[in-house]
Amino acid sequence: MLDFEFMSPTQFVFGRGVEEKVGDKLAERGAKKVLLHFGGQSAVRSGLIDRVCASLDAAGVECVKLGGVRPNPEIELVREGVALCKKEGVDWVLAVGGGSVIDSAKAIANGACIEEDVWELFTTKRPNANVLPIAVVLTIPAAGSEASKNTVISNDALGMKTGYGNEHQRPKLAFMNPELTFTLPPYQTAAGITDMFCHLLERFFDDVDAVPVTDNLNLSLMRTVRAEAPRVLADPEDYEARANIMWAGMLCHQGLAGVGRHEDWATHGLEHELSAFDTSITHGAGLACLFPAWMEHVHAENPARLAYYGREVFGLAPTGDVCADALSAADETRQFFASLGMPTTLTELGIGEDEIDKAIEKMIPTLKKNKGEVFGSFKKLTMEDAEEIYRSAV
Ligand code: NZQ
Ligand code: ZN
């Protein structure tokens, strides 16, 4: 087990109706004026924004609203939020939405406390301890941003999508009501489940030997997500299944499932380029195409680890040929994502044989900027590896 530091400062308030407690909990923590940040439509249409506003009002917490966060959130709206926070003297940022809204809120919370343009943090990766405290009302279990230390922001002008990690931007409060996820379209439910499952895969496959306490936690989450996924898709209003998926999404990415390991994160790096190339691509859908392709590309590095995963998560019986078992595990992963309704090829995402050259020409230089010459840990990938993986996923 490698040495590690782990911090999880988030207070979770979980269950039916918890959004009604937002005002009181924020007032308890001394919030006076919050930036209420939200997405395109869903939270307004469902009346959630009105309910949250009423709760803030009842608790005497002032609020400034900024909506319109798009999936794959963009830096321009972040800059607008930063200016608004500075002008209004905001002391908390409250995100109501999914990973995109939360990530935008995290970037704003950083930017509101620094002098330089907030994009600088994404390029320099410099540490920043001055961050406004963040609260979250989660509406889609997926990215795990409700407790994670990361934010991922797109910069359309530069054609980039880049992450920034900072322990100080982990949310302080997360309100999680599974009923708020009943309205999710099946595609978003499935993409979210795929993303959380991939957060476990990124942690399970690296260059470190077994860490049983971490690995068994990870495997048990994989089995849980796999078992609950068909239940939420079959009945979107199954509270118990939605609750299990929602809590799992947090556990998959707050960090415990990878402590003591290096972790890999190559596939996330590859996917972020895809959704920067075409901002209409949903993160989870991109991962569904790329993760099995990555597994096939790297399997020879440590086939026993992939075969072990196949046995533990999918119940695959060993055949005596460990490489064949590793490849079966990759294919089983693809079938799992397909069973949720996710695409399995980039062609289905609009990047077929005719488009892949153009996509690669654009993605490889920004991938190199984001990840360096070599990246990943299960197998150190070069830009040539990256290109092969993209092409094999077409
Ligand atoms: O904008 P609205 O109208 O709200 O619609 C959203 C959006 O279109 C909709 N939605 C959300 N809750 C809903 C709902 N529709 C109906 N009912 C509800 N209850 O769902 C769509 C997707 O929302 P989004 O926030 O984009 O989804 P997700 O949580 O998957 O976030 C994706 C973003 O997170 C980043 C991804 O790269 C992507 O940009 N990630 C962030 C991470 C982190 N901060 O730690 C880690 C992840 O690996 C990931 O990279
Ligand atoms: Zn992800």
Give the chain as a 3 state SS string. CCCCCCCCCCEEEECCCHHHHHHHHHHHCCCCEEEEEEECCHHHHCCHHHHHHHHHHHCCCEEEEEEEECCCCEHHHHHHHHHHHHHHCCCEEEEEECHHHHHHHHHHHHHCCCCCCCHHHHHHCCCCCCCCCEEEEECCCCCCCCCCCEEEEEECCCCEEEEEECHHHCCCEEEECHHHHCCCCHHHHHHHHHHHHHHHHHHHCCCCCCCHHHHHHHHHHHHHHHHHHHHHHHCCCCHHHHHHHHHHHHHHHCCHHHCCCCCCCHHHHHHHHHHHHCCCCCHHHHHHHHHHHHHHHHHHHCHHHHHHHHHHHHCCCCCCCHHHHHHHHHHHHHHHHHHCCCCCCHHHHCCCCCCHHHHHHHHHHHHHHHHCCCECCCCCECHHHHHHHHHHCC
| Alpha-carbon span 114 to 134, nearest angstrom | 16
Tell me the β-bridge partners of 96: 38, 137
Please compute the mean of the pLDDT values over residues 333-353 and round it to a whole number. 98
Please compute the mean of the pLDDT values over residues 174-179 and round it to a whole number. 98
Q: Quick one: pLDDT at residue 311? A: 98
Q: Over the stretch 28-83, which tens digit does the pLDDT of each residue have?
A: 999 999 999 999 999 999 999 999 999 999 999 999 999 999 999 999 999 999 99
**How large is the C-alpha radius of gyration of the chain?**
20
Please compute the mean of the pLDDT values over residues 144-166 and round it to a whole number. 97
The alpha carbon of 62 and the centre of ligand 2 are apart by a number of angstroms equal to 33
Please compute the mean of the pLDDT values over residues 88-111 and round it to a whole number. 98
Residue owning the nearest CA to atom 7 of ligand 1: 71
Which pair of structure tokens corresponds to residue 214? 């971490």
The alpha carbon of 210 and the centre of ligand 1 are apart by a number of angstroms equal to 32
Q: Quick one: pLDDT at residue 305? A: 98
Which pair of structure tokens corresponds to residue 183? 């309205």
Ligand 1 atom closest to Cα of 48? 19
Q: What are the φ/ψ torsions at residue 40 (nearest 5 degrees)?
A: -75, -55
Confidence of residue 290 (pLDDT cuts 50, 70, 90): very high
Q: What single letter denotes the amino acid at residue 234?
A: A
Residues having CB closer than 6 A to ligand 1 are: 39-43, 71-72, 97-101, 103, 139-140, 142-145, 148, 150-152, 180-181, 183-184, 188, 192, 195, 253, 268, 283
CA atoms within 13 A on the CB side of 183: 14
Whether the CA torsion 138, 144, 145, 151 is positive or negative: it is negative
Ligand 1 atom closest to Cα of 275? 37
Name the packing angle between helices 266-277 and 186-204 (round to 10°). 140
| Alpha-carbon span 31 to 255, nearest angstrom | 27
Q: Quick one: pLDDT at residue 329? A: 98
Which of 37, 145, 169 best tests ligand 1's pocket when mutated (most atoms within 8 Å of CB)? 145
Name the packing angle between helices 303-314 and 212-234 (round to 10°). 50
| Alpha-carbon span 66 to 88, nearest angstrom | 12
| Alpha-carbon span 370 to 356, nearest angstrom | 20
**pLDDT over 90 for what percent of the chain?**
100
Query: For the purposes of burial, counting CB atoms within 10 Å of the CB of 187, is it exposed (0-12), middle (13-18) or buried (19 or more)?
Result: middle
| Alpha-carbon span 313 to 227, nearest angstrom | 10
List every span in the chain annotated with CATH 1.20.1090.10: 186-392
- The CA angle 289-291-294, to the nearest 5 degrees, is 110
Q: Over the stretch 131-150, which tens digit does the pLDDT of each residue have?
A: 999 999 999 999 999 999 99
Which pair of structure tokens corresponds to residue 298? 């790297």
**The domain defined by 11-180 carries CATH number 3.40.50.1970:** yes
List every span in the chain annotated with CATH 3.40.50.1970: 11-180
Class of domain 186-392: mainly alpha
Contacts of 241 (CB under 8 A, 6+ apart): 228, 231, 232, 235
The alpha carbon of 300 and the centre of ligand 1 are apart by a number of angstroms equal to 34
Q: Quick one: pLDDT at residue 129? A: 98
Contacts of 119 (CB under 8 A, 6+ apart): 75, 153, 155
Residue of 312, 270, 305 lying closest to 291 (CA atoms): 270
Place of tokens 């993986």: 389
